[in-house]
Structure 1
């Protein structure tokens, strides 16, 4: 073999698994790399991440970028060794490995566990040692989640959502990032944020990777703005199918997997944004409505005075009422109400009078 490349770059900046493992196992990594039967040996690290003497027979490359999905691609890493940007030429499966082998720090130190950063609504956030093959139920137990659970997202390069029906199905961990979601999270909102991240990671070299993510983001954004159509869901699935066939690297496959698994596990919740104009979690701002609670309203008119939309009906000592057709959702009324009588509501709306009525205390 002519060349070996050890990749110590994190895919996620908040999950610097490889740099941490390298720091904790520097001598072991150096020894393993120098034993490899290769004419040229490279170690790619984040800029400022190499603090030790450079050993003879090993080239250390410090990159300006701290993280990025493209660093998980073998052809992109080879470009880095040539002094170029990490732009993928093909997928890892298509990469010709006869003259070049790419390994991770975990592979070199023969780590029996998989180091993964766990985020979300959990007690034990941060990097954990997990079994490489593990069930979602065991992951929840490891992070201290009991009972309150809605979804789990396995980040790039897996790009997979699972729900509570899949708790005992083992998964093979190849990602450094897992996020736990609960009922306060909106799956459409989270899917859009995930697509936004993939959009920032796309290198722009292939149409189906770069433009595909753009189209997915556009369709998801329309859904969060009450402009979505049911046909958009089928359109996204068709787009994901083509992205998996024609994207140049794993980023295109991963976002396609992400969208497909989200629709497979949480289609009804996403559809409700389109058919019922409702966000159960109360996260999507366009689906929230403002209401004045009759039991708390004192008829002070403070909210009426600050409403620039003239959407609040009422007068002194009368329970005020918000005209939902006129309300723009600016939230000024909430800030003005000292009685905390004004709330935002998602799918569950409070019972309020349809017109102003005298306050009980008047």
Structure 2
């Protein structure tokens, strides 16, 4: 007989509430499976916002008079932490969920693990037509996931979230993997891998507990380097620095949480190194996403000289008067995009490495 069973229902990602969905829809089955393990004490950890679900669990648990069950409400803001066995054990002891080990505990389950099926529920987002919850076999090749979601443009990459934490490209789509994450994001040709990687890294700043130097400082340094690259301040040594830092993080961190960010960065550089390096060596963002690398231009064949864009520009970066083709002063433009919103003629476009041909100064409109 197990001394205890802990069921974690706190979503790892707010946008992917897999555990909460299953617990709400299969409450009786989950309780039955917990009861069948015949532990001396059973715990279900819930987000403090789920008081209605707590009441439902406690009510249905009365059907098992010989089962000792306690529901514990916690702050669900730190979704990654509750996937760590050492952290969730701290919660049971009435302490903060601070991870201290990478060791798995066979008495700690996610809600989905208690169902014990060969299927995995996962929420998928990104540049796809079929967003939302999908169900796949746990053993699956990424290409099957891509085909089920219908990518909007040409496929570029797929991010398999925590705890898998890996960024894959076209070359890896047919390699079977064990699907354990609740969240996946798919990118197409119009997405910038550097921008996506930066967003992923920023999320870890809320998850890092600060207990170990290589975890907290590593996450901080990764964010600083990625931010510099995206702000056109990248150095030629930054890629090698990231790889060295991430390699040390994986070996030195006390728990796997911060180490998974290191794995994500390493996989991103391995699969998309050229695209990331171009932000440093060529000062370009091919996808025209990173604002510091893009410029806005007014197309001569579409501009009517209405001055709407000039009125919308707070930085006086648009030159021209009524009935004249307007021109954007690139030295003054801060890439805010307000001019694009103001133009009803769709005459203003943003450009990455390839720039459209435009007048150097305002000239009379031909329209």
TM-score over 0.5 (shorter chain): yes
Task: State the shift of 1:142 in Å.
Answer: 2.2
Contact 2:127/2:153, CA 8 A, preserved across alignment: no
Render the CA deviation track for 1:114-144: whole Å, top value 9, x for unaligned. 1111111223222221111101111122223
Contact 1:202/1:251, CA 8 A, preserved across alignment: yes
Aligned in 2, Cα 1:322/1:76: closer, same or farther, shift over 3 Å?
same
How far apart, in 2, do the equivalents of 1:83 and 1:103 lie?
19
Contact 2:100/2:255, CA 8 A, preserved across alignment: yes
Task: State the shift of 1:227 in Å.
Answer: 0.5
Aligned in 2, Cα 1:321/1:113: closer, same or farther, shift over 3 Å?
same
SS of the counterpart of 2:196? helix
Task: State the shift of 1:31 in Å.
Answer: 2.2
Task: State the shift of 1:16 in Å.
Answer: 1.2
Contact 2:157/2:188, CA 8 A, preserved across alignment: yes
Q: For residue 42 of structure 1, what is the aligned residue in structure 2?
A: 43
- Alignment of 1:295 onto 2:301: yes
Aligned CA-pair RMSD: 2.3
Render the CA deviation track for 1:327-361: whole Å, top value 9, x for unaligned. 33344544555544332222221111334444435
How far apart, in 2, do the equivalents of 1:250 and 1:126 lie?
27
Contact 1:10/1:66, CA 8 A, preserved across alignment: no
SS of the counterpart of 1:262? helix
Contact 2:98/2:209, CA 8 A, preserved across alignment: yes
Task: State the shift of 1:3 in Å.
Answer: 2.4
Q: For residue 184 of structure 1, what is the aligned residue in structure 2?
A: 190
Task: State the shift of 1:320 in Å.
Answer: 3.5
- What 5-or-longer segments of structure 2 have no aligned partner? none
Contact 1:34/1:58, CA 8 A, preserved across alignment: no
- Alignment of 1:324 onto 2:330: yes
SS of the counterpart of 1:200? coil
Q: For residue 9 of structure 2, what is the aligned residue in structure 1?
A: 8
Q: For residue 87 of structure 1, what is the aligned residue in structure 2?
A: 98
How far apart, in 2, do the equivalents of 1:148 and 1:61 lie?
45
Aligned 1:1-362 pairs, distance under 5 A:
1-47=2-48, 48=51, 49-50=53-54, 51-52=56-57, 53=59, 54-55=61-62, 56-65=67-76, 68-93=79-104, 97=105, 101-145=107-151, 148-299=154-305, 303=309, 309-314=315-320, 317-334=323-340, 337=343, 339-360=345-366
Task: State the shift of 1:8 in Å.
Answer: 1.9
How far apart, in 1, do the equivalents of 2:311 and 2:26 lie?
64
Task: State the shift of 1:316 in Å.
Answer: 5.6
Render the CA deviation track for 1:246-277: whole Å, top value 9, x for unaligned. 11212112101110111111111111111111
How far apart, in 2, do the equivalents of 1:258 and 1:338 lie?
41
How far apart, in 1, do the equivalents of 2:131 and 2:87 lie?
31
How far apart, in 2, do the equivalents of 1:12 and 1:301 lie?
45
Comparing 281-290 and 332-341, the one that deviates more: 332-341
Task: State the shift of 1:186 in Å.
Answer: 0.8
Aligned in 2, Cα 1:130/1:332: closer, same or farther, shift over 3 Å?
closer
Task: State the shift of 1:168 in Å.
Answer: 0.8
SS of the counterpart of 1:123? coil
Aligned length: 356
Task: State the shift of 1:317 in Å.
Answer: 4.8
How far apart, in 2, do the equivalents of 1:27 and 1:336 lie?
55
- Please give the TM-score of this superposition, normalised by the length of structure 1: 0.90
Comparing 264-273 and 14-23, the one that deviates more: 14-23
How far apart, in 2, do the equivalents of 1:320 and 1:11 lie?
49
Contact 2:78/2:206, CA 8 A, preserved across alignment: no
